[in-house]
């Protein structure tokens, strides 16, 4: 069973109204809408980090002339 921690947050009026509207439209609690939003933010941050890491290693591979899977196999099994 997961722990639940209650927090009080402050939102600008328009953002609070928008969150309430989403909750009403999706028939969810306001808490569920906020939780989903936080999960989406976390997912996007991880995706951004993944692409940054992928870009770094892609450039390293290009520096070594590794452009295809065949190049990679040749590099790993000299």
In the chain, domain spans: 13-76
Q: What distance, in Å, lies between the first and last C-alpha atoms of the chain?
A: 52
3-state helix, strand, coil in the chain (%, to 5): 70, 0, 30
**At 19, which helix (H) or strand (E)?**
helix 13-26
| Cα 43 to Cα 35: distance, rounded to the nearest angstrom | 12
The verdict on pTM exceeding 0.85 is no
pLDDT tens readout for residues 4-58: 899 999 999 999 999 999 999 999 999 999 999 999 999 999 999 999 999 999 9
What are the backbone angles phi and psi of residue 10, rounded to the nearest 5°?
A: -110, 135
Which of helix, strand or coil describes residue 29? coil
């Amino acid at each position: 069973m997961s722990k639940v921690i209650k927090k009080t947050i402050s939102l600008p009026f328009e953002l609070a109204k928008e969150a309430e509207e989403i909750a009403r439209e999706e028939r969810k609690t306001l808490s569920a809408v906020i939780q989903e939003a936080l999960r989406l933010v976390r997912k996007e941050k991880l995706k951004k980090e993944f692409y940054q890491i992928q870009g770094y290693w892609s450039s390293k591979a290009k520096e070594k002339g590794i452009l295809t899977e065949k190049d990679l196999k040749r590099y790993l099994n000299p």
